[in-house]
Structure 1
């Protein structure tokens, strides 16, 4: 009975180290790389800031702004821009893209 339990324990540990730990390290490195590269690009002025987007939305009339606010465009546009930036950066990684 003991060899069966040891085999089950070793197979569980090997699965844990082979799949879970390796994926955790890989995805953490990917997350760290993306967050640091985006903050670096924002610091260099290569990505649009929230101030420039608010200036662009400031020129919109009140009739149009009602429908934009109804659809939460002021929240969605920066979200979409950040998603496109992250997709662009992730596709440049050789193992994924």
Structure 2
């Protein structure tokens, strides 16, 4: 059975041309869905860094960091940074 998550933000529904994306229901599925950069951003979010701080640390634009954060939420089937961190901890993606 394949689970699908719908983003709670209607603006994200068309992301990547899909109304839903496979939901990360296991650590291996979540790791497969998250890019290396998205995982780096997620780890920094978990440490409490602001988007601007993450952008400066990773040498990215603020817009790029925000885009990564939105995609992380969609892929993990959550609607906030806090929920993303909680879900990532549940899946043992971050410590």
**Whose relative contact order is higher, 1 or 2, with alpha carbons under 8 Å and at least 6 apart?**
2
Bin of the TM-score, shorter chain as denominator length: under 0.3
- TM-score of the two chains, using structure 1 as the length reference: 0.22
Give the structure with the higher percent helix. Answer: 1
